[in-house]
């Protein structure tokens, strides 16, 4: 048991006399401090408080003096626990710090931080307890926000297999986050400073990371490299390392990501695309071969035996020729779709106006038969191969003529440039597409509800979409105000470095 401490019964006058013997600064601090200050006797009676106490707890000073100390606590159990801590402050000649929940006049529970110390006279007589109470609601909210952010960062690092690192240029000390330890498959007590982490890189990768760090230190240049490591468990992993120099603080820091699965997926996807393209070309070539003699024999029949065929026979012959022509067109479209897998960008921009003029000339018969009025605005130049620009406008304009340009309607062609992005549009004022059709219109072989009105194969818009994607852009369709469809194609006009 602690030694018994005798205290003098004090009152408000005693406290005032005690304070009056101190410097004015003490009184100023007492009255202006933003934390609540309470002076409490050994029997836990409140005898003095500052204005901040009224602000924090919501009571007037008169109300605080009339309340028992327990009224400021959550419940009786809290009050008793607080009392034990106050008694300990009387027993121990040192400052006590602790956090405790408190209750305002409104009933709101809020977190507080207490600093409790003894008050003594010059001759060592204990007068009571000085309790400084700070509202730490904001602090707790910040701590909770930081905790959630830290948890989110750890979850993101775990899911994305990414972690942070820092290298001190002068001391050579290297610091890893949890994610980097996990990527290297080492225990968290491993010290990466021992070999600067370089020991995990394969022989082929070491020169690249060494040169990247060297340039970061000597030239202040960030780096972004993909390398290979051998983990502590002997597993080979592909990693993505990003480093940023901070020469003012003599350090290099960055992120480290395990991209092994992504690289495997990219390889499989690339192989699948190559196989698919090869398959499409083979199928298109093999199916096209027997169509040519079929159409040839149909032409011979028409030339040499048309007088011997009745009207129905000639009709059947026309169906054979039309079906063969459509099949050849389908095969050509399939080959075009396969060939658009890679694009070589021209260095000099291409005149889109000339491309569109040539497309319109080739579609002259269709334009005349439909009675469509074509309105073409000046178009921006673009660094896209002429062949693919031709495919874009041929397919979009043909589509507008086929489905949206009946009875002398208007078809508009235009474009705009915004920085490195070029946009073209072909707008018709026909029956349009439903919302569900607009979502699927670029799918290969998809044809809308009004497909009976045209002879499209369902590949043309898929080609448009693929060309746009390969040019760093996209293709989409919107509803034309008043009815119809507006097809947009957006492409990146900047030549990418290889």
pLDDT in tens, 275-289: 777 777 777 677 777
- 219 with 275, same domain: the answer is no
Q: Residue 339 class from Cβ within 10 Å (0-12 exposed, 13-18 middle, 19+ buried)? A: middle
Weakest mean pLDDT among 85-89, 338-342, 490-494: 338-342
Q: How far apart are CA 158 and CA 140, in angstroms?
A: 26
Average pLDDT, the chain: 81
Q: Is the dihedral of CA 339, 340, 344, 347 positive or negative?
A: positive
**Residues 325-381 pLDDT 10s:** 767 766 776 666 566 555 567 888 899 999 999 899 888 888 888 888 899 999 999
Structure tokens at 112: 């507080």
For residue 432, pLDDT over 80 is answered with yes
- 418 with 458, same domain: the answer is yes
pLDDT > 70 in the chain, percent = 82
Is there a domain that residue 146 lies in? no
Please check whether residue 355 is in contact with residue 390, taking contact to mean a CB–CB distance below 8 angstroms.
Answer: yes
Q: What is the CATH number of the domain that holds 377?
A: 3.30.565.10
Q: How far is CA 310 from CA 207, 296, 323, in A?
A: 82, 20, 20
Range(s) of the domain holding residue 201: 154-258
Is there a domain that residue 1 lies in? no
SS (H, E, C) 64-122: HHHCCHHHHCCCHHHHHHHHHHHHHHHHCCCCEEEEEEEECCCCCEEEEEEEEEEEECC
Nearest residue to 255 via CA among 245, 268, 271, 241:
241
pTM equals 0.42
- 459 with 368, same domain: the answer is yes
Nearest residue to 160 via CA among 226, 257, 64, 80:
257
- 189 with 112, same domain: the answer is no
Q: What is the CATH number of the domain that holds 219?
A: 3.30.450.20
Domain count for the chain, please give it. Answer: 4
Is there a domain that residue 248 lies in? yes
- 16 with 118, same domain: the answer is yes
Kind of pairing between the strands at 474-479 and 485-492: antiparallel
For residue 498, pLDDT over 50 is answered with no
Tell me the average pLDDT across 417-425. Answer: 89
Tell me the average pLDDT across 399-414. Answer: 83
- 271 with 253, same domain: the answer is no
Please check whether residue 495 is in contact with residue 347, taking contact to mean a CB–CB distance below 8 angstroms.
Answer: yes
Weakest mean pLDDT among 31-40, 54-63, 333-342: 333-342
For residue 43, pLDDT over 50 is answered with yes
Q: How far is CA 154 from CA 157, 231, 258, 274, in A?
A: 5, 21, 15, 38
Is there a domain that residue 217 lies in? yes
Is there a domain that residue 498 lies in? no
Is there a domain that residue 143 lies in? no
Weakest mean pLDDT among 101-105, 250-254, 283-287: 283-287
Kind of pairing between the strands at 410-418 and 373-376: parallel
Confidence of residue 452 (pLDDT cuts 50, 70, 90): very low
- 322 with 246, same domain: the answer is no
């Amino acid at each position: 048991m602690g030694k018994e401490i005798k205290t003098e019964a004090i009152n408000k006058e005693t406290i005032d006399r005690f304070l009056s013997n101190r410097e004015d600064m003490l009184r100023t601090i007492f009255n202006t401090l933003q934390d609540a200050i309470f002076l409490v006797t050994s029997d836990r009676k409140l005898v003095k408080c500052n204005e901040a106490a009224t602000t924090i707890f919501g009571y007037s000073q008169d109300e605080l003096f009339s309340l028992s100390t327990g009224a400021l606590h959550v419940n009786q159990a809290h009050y008793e626990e607080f009392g034990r801590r106050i008694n300990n402050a009387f027993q121990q000649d040192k400052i006590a710090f602790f956090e405790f929940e408190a209750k305002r006049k409104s009933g709101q529970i809020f977190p507080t931080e207490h600093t409790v110390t003894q008050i003594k006279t010059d001759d060592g007589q204990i007068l009571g307890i000085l309790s400084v109470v700070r509202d730490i609601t904001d602090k707790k909210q910040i701590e909770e926000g930081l905790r959630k952010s830290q948890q989110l960062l750890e979850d993101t690092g775990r899911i994305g297999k990414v972690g942070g690192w820092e290298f001190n240029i002068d001391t050579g000390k290297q610091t890893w986050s949890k994610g980097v330890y996990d990527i290297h498959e080492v225990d968290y007590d491993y010290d990466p400073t021992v070999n600067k982490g370089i020991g995990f890189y394969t022989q082929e990768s070491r020169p690249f990371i060494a040169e990247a760090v060297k340039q970061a230190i000597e030239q202040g240049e960030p780096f972004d490299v993909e390398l290979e490591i051998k983990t502590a468990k002997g597993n080979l992993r592909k990693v993505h390392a990003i480093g940023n120099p901070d020469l003012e603080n003599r350090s290099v820091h960055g992120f480290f990501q395990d991209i092994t699965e992504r690289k495997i997926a990219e390889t499989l996807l690339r192989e699948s695309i190559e196989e698919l393209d090869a398959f499409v070309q083979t199928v298109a070539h093999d199916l096209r071969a027997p169509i040519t003699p079929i159409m040839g024999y149909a032409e011979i029949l028409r030339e040499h035996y048309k007088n011997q065929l009745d009207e129905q026979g000639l009709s059947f012959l026309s169906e054979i020729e039309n079906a063969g022509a459509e099949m050849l067109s389908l095969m050509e479209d399939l080959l075009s779709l396969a060939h658009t897998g890679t694009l070589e960008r021209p260095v000099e921009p291409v005149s889109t106006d000339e491309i569109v003029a040539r497309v319109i000339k080739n579609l002259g018969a269709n334009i005349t038969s439909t009675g469509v009025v074509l309105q073409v605005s000046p178009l921006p130049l673009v660094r896209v191969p002429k062949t693919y620009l031709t495919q874009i406008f041929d397919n979009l304009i043909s589509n507008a003529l086929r489905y949206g340009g009946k009875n002398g309607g208007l078809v508009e062609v235009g474009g705009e440039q915004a920085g490195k992005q070029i946009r073209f549009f072909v707008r018709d004022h026909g029956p349009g597409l439903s919302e569900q059709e607009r979502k699927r219109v670029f799918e290969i072989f998809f044809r809308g509800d009004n497909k009976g009105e045209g002879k499209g194969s369902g590949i043309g818009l898929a080609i448009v979409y693929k060309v746009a994607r390969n040019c760093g852009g996209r293709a989409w369709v919107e509803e034309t105000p008043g009815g119809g469809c507006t097809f947009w194609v957006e492409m990146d006009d900047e030549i990418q470095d290889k």
